[in-house]
Structure 1
Amino acid sequence: MNERESRSDSPSILLITGLMAAGKSTVAQRLAERLPRSVHLRGDVFRRMIVGGQAEMGFELSEEAERQLRLRYRIAAAAADLYFQAGFTVVHQDIVLGPGLAEVVRYYADRPLHVVVLCPRPAVVAAREAGRAKRGYQDTSAVLDFDRVLRAETPRLGLWLDTSELTVAETVDEILGRLGEARVSGAAGA
């Protein structure tokens, strides 16, 4: 077994974040498929569970949207921790930008955590958005606004990957090959 495989055999939590249309869902699914005993935890599912009173998520968040976003992060961390305790590696995928990234990392302080930030160029994000059935941005200027928050306001934690020229398979290979760079917390050797 090579070093890369031995590091991915121990249960851990991998947080995959980035902008909408950065490829988080696809990369997280493929990454989970490559790991033994793994879970793909989609953080957005907890937002969708709110039936009455769901706050709108967008560039500017209301106080209620902020509360719901933090709740979503806490619930996802709790679910990830339960899977982790059961021996699963959890690939937690969500949009965690700005100071929220440091907050979410603190939820996992006593667990082996790897953070991967997918950060393709804004033009690539806009092109990917145009090819999707769902819409996350009102227009191209919104992509630039979110990209500014990502690059200027998000703490430089973990592994930041410009995936503009990478396929999904190449992105997963990069993540697995550079897990050490993505490590931000947890017990040594886990």
Structure 2
Amino acid sequence: MSLFVITGAMAAGKTTVAKALAQRFPRSAVVGGDVFRRMIVNGAAVMGPTLDAEARAQLTLRQVIATDAVRRYHDAGFTVVYQDILIGPDLVAVVERLADLDPRVVVLAPSAEVLAQRDRDRAKTGYSDHFPPAVLAEALARETPRLGRWIDSSAMDVEQVVDAILDD
């Protein structure tokens, strides 16, 4: 059993790749960090390019809860794929929290242009004029240490990305 941590900007393909990767294992689970954000009924902080103290606290809470869930599934014998937007110190903290499980880190890093196109092509949109894809793409490149496998998936389909992850 393995543990994969998949990160990248919004519209990088994290959810799609995580599900396709999990399908390759006979006993697997996908943990998506955003599920825990959506559990907040009232009082959810706005997530965006800059985070106030409350948003930062809620983001950390979401990541701690997600890593707890990851650990539970892993301990129960599942291969786990955890996907979330983990940039800079957030990725480092998650990897440290799960270090004893030897996580395989995958950073999906398509171009900002591809992120914009994928965001336009999907039902949910996360970017806006005030929060363009380049903001997250640049933050990922600038603030995130080169942990694990970085994949420019701009010209790849889902199965090619999964094959690249498993070839590592």
TM-score by length of 1: 0.86
Q: How does 1:25-174 map to 2 (within 5 A)?
A: 25-139=15-129, 142-174=132-164
Unpaired segments of 5 or more residues in structure 1?
1-10, 179-190
- Structure 1 stretches of 4+ with a deviation exceeding 3 A read none
1:6 corresponding residue in structure 2: none
Whether the 8 Å contact between 1:26 and 1:168 is mirrored in structure 2 is yes
Q: SS where residue 87 of structure 1 aligns?
A: coil
2:14 corresponding residue in structure 1: 24
- 1:111/1:128 CA distance change after superposition, 3 Å: same
Name the CA distance, whole Å, in 2 between partners of 1:88 and 1:123. Answer: 36
What's the offset of the Cα at 1:98?
1.8
* Cα offsets for 1:57-104 (capped at 9, x unmatched): 111111000000001000000000000000001000111012211011
1:12 corresponding residue in structure 2: 2
Name the CA distance, whole Å, in 1 between partners of 2:109 and 2:131. Answer: 17
Q: Which amino acid aligns with 2:11?
A: A
Q: Which amino acid aligns with 2:65?
A: I
Instruction: Report which of the two structures shows the higher radius of gyration computed on alpha carbons.
Output: 1
- 1:110/1:136 CA distance change after superposition, 3 Å: same
Whether the 8 Å contact between 1:125 and 1:143 is mirrored in structure 2 is yes
Name the CA distance, whole Å, in 1 between partners of 2:66 and 2:13. Answer: 19
Unpaired segments of 5 or more residues in structure 2?
none
TM-score by length of 2: 0.97
Name the CA distance, whole Å, in 2 between partners of 1:92 and 1:14. Answer: 6
- 1:12/1:141 CA distance change after superposition, 3 Å: same
Q: SS where residue 57 of structure 1 aligns?
A: coil
Name the CA distance, whole Å, in 2 between partners of 1:150 and 1:160. Answer: 11
Aligned length: 168
Whether the 8 Å contact between 2:111 and 2:152 is mirrored in structure 1 is yes
Identity, % of aligned positions:
52
1:183 corresponding residue in structure 2: none
Name the CA distance, whole Å, in 2 between partners of 1:140 and 1:48. Answer: 22
